Amino acid sequence: MALRWLQRVELTLFAAAFLCGAVAAAALTRTQGSFGAVASGLLALYCLLLLLFWVYSSCIEDSHRGSIGLRIALAISAIAIFLILVSACILRFGTRSLCNSIISLNHTISCSDAQKISWTPPGTAVQFYSNLRNAETSSWVNLVLWCLVWMLQVVQCKSEATQAPERGDPEWSSETAALVGHRPSRS
């Protein structure tokens, strides 16, 4: 069974979210000198694993996601949106605060010029402003992508809820038929 078009769009958004998360994590790692961009890195890894799973599932197995799986995906997406929003805000206000403190020292008039100053110890501020701006931009784009993913999942959830089970489906059991009556056959 091939993936539905909404799931294909969702996977495309996950691929873009993976790239944005990876860029944000790499830029922050380069700036900090250690891997401290946990939220971006974990969400990028989640996107990659989910992407690989759905590609595998659509090629090898039946690629139907049930309503429980969709609800779990909705919850994960909501958590991801919250984490990315917090990260993007921290990057935004943290970068602004750092730049204001550097400019207040009267060594430079902008943060982009501060990258060119020789720092002590040498190499500690290599492209710090560019890396922080890249991470911030990636985080905001990632937030938009995750919001789009969440909206697609809501649409999928609503469309599954409005679709009546068809005859022959396991969900359309004799108990259901007894409660709502027999479904008319389609000719």
Q: Do residues 108 and 8 touch, judged by C-beta distance below 8 A?
A: no
Please identify which residue in the block is written with the tokens 């990315």: 84
Q: pLDDT tens digits, residue range 122-161?
A: 655 567 788 888 889 999 999 999 999 999 989 988 887 7
Confidence band (pLDDT; 50, 70, 90) for 1?
Answer: very low
How far is the CA of 99 from the CAs of 80, 93, 112, 119, 134, in angstroms? 28, 10, 9, 15, 15
Rounded mean pLDDT of the chain?
78
Q: pLDDT tens digits, residue range 63-80?
A: 667 788 888 889 999 999
Quick one: how far is CA 83 from the chain centroid? 10
Question: What does the pLDDT read at residue 144?
Answer: 94
How far apart, in whole angstroms, are the C-alpha atoms of residue 150 and residue 110? 38
How far apart, in whole angstroms, are the C-alpha atoms of residue 25 and residue 11? 21
| Residue ranges covered by each domain of the chain | 5-162
Question: What does the pLDDT read at residue 117?
Answer: 73
H helix or E strand, kind and range, residue 126: none
How far is the CA of 19 from the CAs of 48, 86, 145, 179, in angstroms? 9, 19, 11, 49
Question: What does the pLDDT read at residue 187?
Answer: 45
pTM of the model: 0.73
Question: What does the pLDDT read at residue 129?
Answer: 83
Quick one: how far is CA 136 from the chain centroid? 14
Integer-rounded Cα Rg, in Å, for the chain is 24
Confidence band (pLDDT; 50, 70, 90) for 165?
Answer: low
Q: pLDDT tens digits, residue range 2-38?
A: 567 888 888 888 888 888 888 888 888 777 665 557 7
How far is the CA of 64 from the CAs of 81, 90, 185, in angstroms? 25, 38, 25
How far apart, in whole angstroms, are the C-alpha atoms of residue 50 and residue 48? 5
How far apart, in whole angstroms, are the C-alpha atoms of residue 20 and residue 81? 13
Question: What does the pLDDT read at residue 110?
Answer: 83
